[in-house]
Structure 1
């Protein structure tokens, strides 16, 4: 009987340890991936510097672009906080809130594009759009 109990204990440990080790590795990979995505998110300053380099913007244009991007980021964060609060309060109108947010976001994107074009000019805006195009074709699952 003692040998049987010992055999069962060894068997359970032999089977259980690899399974728990795999779960730990899987969780670590998920955490690593999410950290990488967060690290990849560029600040307004970094995006403005990237645009300045790609589009050969003047220092004045770069400063204005950075100010615009910071304003957009702050507004987006405020809206997200508002929508999260609404989502928590009212779960029945989720689809309505999503559509409202989508519509608002599209409107703001158009306004932001127009303002950016006024700052950098049509020619540089076309160049920026051509630089953005390959990134926008990527599947949404990667974002």
Structure 2
């Protein structure tokens, strides 16, 4: 009887440590809400906090983010409908997607700069670059073992 209880406890602890290790990455995301993607309101709140935006700027930024999300959803739906074309020439499609993404980012940044101004936009770009660097560094294989 003692052996069965002891083995059950060992199995329970092993399972709990395994599950904790798997959930560790999601919980370590800096300033991330519980979901995988931030809503336009959450993104606008974060930007307002980082840059000290006025209530009017925050409202305009939130509306812009909603518009961008709707446009992105339409593009994703279009891409999903065109799955057959994607399978045929993958490299060409990847280049097109990258060019489209860069164009969209430039348009989004220009619209955002009109709302928040040049100085705050530079500060936001710097903040965004720092976050991207942190993400890249945290995903390197040689750093994964040290966690």
TM-score by length of 2: 0.67
Instruction: Choose 1 or 2 for highest CA Rg.
Output: 1
Matched, 1:139 2:136: yes
Answer yes or no: is the 8 Å Cα contact 1:55–1:124 preserved in 2.
yes
Deviation at 1:29, TM superposition (A): 6.0
What is the alpha-carbon distance in structure 2 between the residues aligned to residue 86 and residue 27 of structure 1?
Answer: 38
Q: CA RMSD in A?
A: 2.8
Q: Specify which of 91, 97, 114 is matched with residue 93 of structure 2.
A: 97
Aligned to 2:72: 76
More helix per residue: 1
d(CA) in 1 for partners of 2:50, 2:26: 27
In structure 2, C-alpha distance between the alignment counterparts of 1:67 and 1:128, rounded to whole Å: 18
Deviations 1:6-40 (A, max 9, x none): xxxxxxxxxxxx8xx98xx878965x478768724
TM normalised by structure 1 equals 0.69
Q: Any stretches of 5+ residues in structure 1 without a counterpart?
A: 1-17
CA 1:41–1:60: 2 relative to 1, 3 Å = same
Structure 2 residue runs of 5 or longer lacking an equivalent are 1-10, 140-147
How many aligned residue pairs are there?
A: 120
